[in-house]
Structure 1
Amino acid sequence: MPRYALKIEYDGRPFSGWQRQKDQPSVQGAVEAALGKLEADVPSIAAAGRTDAGVHALGQVATCDLQKDWTPFRLTEALNYHLKPDRVAIVACALVDDGFHARFSAIERQYLFRLISRRAPLVHDRGNAWRVVQALDADAMQAGADRLIGRHDFTTFRSTMCQADSPVKTLDELRVETLPYPGGTEYRFHVRARSFLHNQVRSFVGTLERVGAGSWSPDDVTAALEARDRAACGPVCPPDGLYLARVGYPVDPFSNT
């Protein structure tokens, strides 16, 4: 059975998350339904990460095994045709060897979080970014972010529902970028690691927003990290601005697409 890697873009708002759920719309369910229009009995697809309800993706990766030999172009076109009713698109497709797995072959994951500061409500980016009304100090947020980079016990910044075996992770990048935005300012948080705990990025951003607003100091971020206690975390921000931006592999399967 030929194996294909799919790079998937989606708007998370209509879905209960990536993972297929009974009686709830999911991204996995939408892609598998489209595959089912092409072949019968397509095995379940595997993804690089399970995004939560309302979380978006620019570069989710999934692998699927099919009976027929499809050219990547034809498979992409066919899937996008059947995905038309959904806010999901296949942006790249590649034929990969049997040893490639979207999740287990990944060596890093990159997330983007969009935070917009302005008084006026969001119109075009409503549901696609988190809006706050107060001005934020980007330098203070970066100083707080720097306290989190490296290998740490991130118990404070993971959900109590997290199923990871260990709270110890290595955070490779947490960078705050500032961009002009009509009537305000956009702050983009670029977060990179091999893997993440449940709600880790949203916990980071919610905490750093408090630093930017002046309610917390960078030292408070260090104290929260060292507490190893979920109760010490700042507010967990909404999923609206979170995107799975990219999944890294030893060899990029989409380099020739």
Structure 2
Amino acid sequence: MKNYKIRLQYDGTRYDGWQKQGNTKNTIQGKLEEVCSRMLGEAVEIHGSGRTDAGVHAAGQVANFKSERAMKPEEMLRYLNAYLPQDIAVLSVEEAPERFHSRLLATSKEYRYRVWNSPIPNVFERRFVYQDARSFSTEAMQKAAAYCLGEHDFQSFSSVKRSKKSTVRTLRHLDVERMGDEIRFTLEGNGFLYNMVRILVGTLLEVGEGRRQPESIPWIFEQKNREVAGFTAPPQGLTLMQVHYKV
């Protein structure tokens, strides 16, 4: 049994998210499993590092699958890119250790959220940015972001109402920078809850607009209540950039 690690990118605009679902065949995982199964002549189960939501993109998603059939990685790479839809691309294929698991062994993930802060649409990037023409204070958002760093219970920043699993995560980086008409949020953490990045961004935007104070962030953490945090920023501005591993 061979274990293969793949790195891929996709434009998530027209997909119902990463995870295969019973009510739709239009998922990234579903498309990959379909093509991989045809390539190897056997049923293939793909394990992704994380489940990106509908409309969310990836520049560096990582996944793995096992197969009884030995096939050269370079042959797999050619086959997959020949038969996958044009908005999904496999960047690399390699044999991995038998125990490698793309989700369980990930040490951190990096996301980027892009806001197009202009009344004039960015025609060529419109599928990858959230357009919001309101006036935002970058300085206020940077100050608020500093309160989010480190280990916290991020329950207030998750759309999951109740969960037996821990909602404590460690956020290592949360950078806010302005690049012309674009405001870019870069986040790296050891794990992210459902909608966590988009709620964090929505909350910071409300700070930037002056609807909240940067000093309100610790209070939001303390409440452990989704309703006290900001809005959920739209999916199209979000991209999974990288997944990190120890080896």
Normalised TM-score (structure 2): 0.95
Change (3 A) 1:177 1:71: farther
Partner of 2:204: 208
Partner of 1:74: 75
Partner of 1:96: 96
Q: What's the CA shift for 1:59?
A: 0.7
Answer yes or no: is the 8 Å Cα contact 2:10–2:89 preserved in 1: yes
* 1:10-21 correspondence runs (5 A): 10-21=10-21
Q: Supply the RMSD in Å over aligned alpha carbons.
A: 1.4
Q: What's the CA shift for 1:86?
A: 4.2
Q: What's the CA shift for 1:12?
A: 0.8
Q: 1:7 and 1:162 mapped to 2: Cα distance? A: 32
Partner of 1:105: 105
Q: 2:164 and 2:233 mapped to 1: Cα distance? A: 21
Partner of 1:254: none
Tell me the matched-pair count. 246
Q: What's the CA shift for 1:66?
A: 2.0
Partner of 1:120: 120
SS at match of 1:35: helix
Deviations 1:78-100 (A, max 9, x none): 101010x3410001111111011
Q: 1:23 and 1:158 mapped to 2: Cα distance? A: 24
Q: What's the CA shift for 1:49?
A: 0.2
- 1:219 paired with 2:219, answer no
Q: 1:137 and 1:90 mapped to 2: Cα distance? A: 38
Answer yes or no: is the 8 Å Cα contact 2:36–2:44 preserved in 1: no
Q: What's the CA shift for 1:229?
A: 1.3
Structure 2 residue identity aligned to 1:118: S
SS at match of 1:144: helix
Bigger mean CA deviation after superposition, 138-147 or 215-224: 215-224
- 1:58 paired with 2:54, answer no
Answer yes or no: is the 8 Å Cα contact 2:37–2:44 preserved in 1: no
Is the helix fraction higher in 1 or 2? 2
Q: 2:113 and 2:2 mapped to 1: Cα distance? A: 35
Q: What's the CA shift for 1:239?
A: 0.6
Q: What's the CA shift for 1:221?
A: 2.1
* 1:1-257 correspondence runs (5 A): 1-24=1-24, 25-83=26-84, 85-161=85-161, 163=163, 165-180=165-180, 185-251=181-247
Answer yes or no: is the 8 Å Cα contact 1:118–1:135 preserved in 2: no
Q: Which runs of 5+ in 1 are unaligned?
A: 252-257
Answer yes or no: is the 8 Å Cα contact 1:203–1:237 preserved in 2: yes
Q: Which runs of 5+ in 2 are unaligned?
A: none
Q: Percent identity?
A: 35
Answer yes or no: is the 8 Å Cα contact 1:161–1:198 preserved in 2: no
Q: 2:69 and 2:161 mapped to 1: Cα distance? A: 40
SS at match of 1:20: coil
Structure 1 residue identity aligned to 2:166: S
Answer yes or no: is the 8 Å Cα contact 1:37–1:82 preserved in 2: no
Q: What's the CA shift for 1:163?
A: 4.6
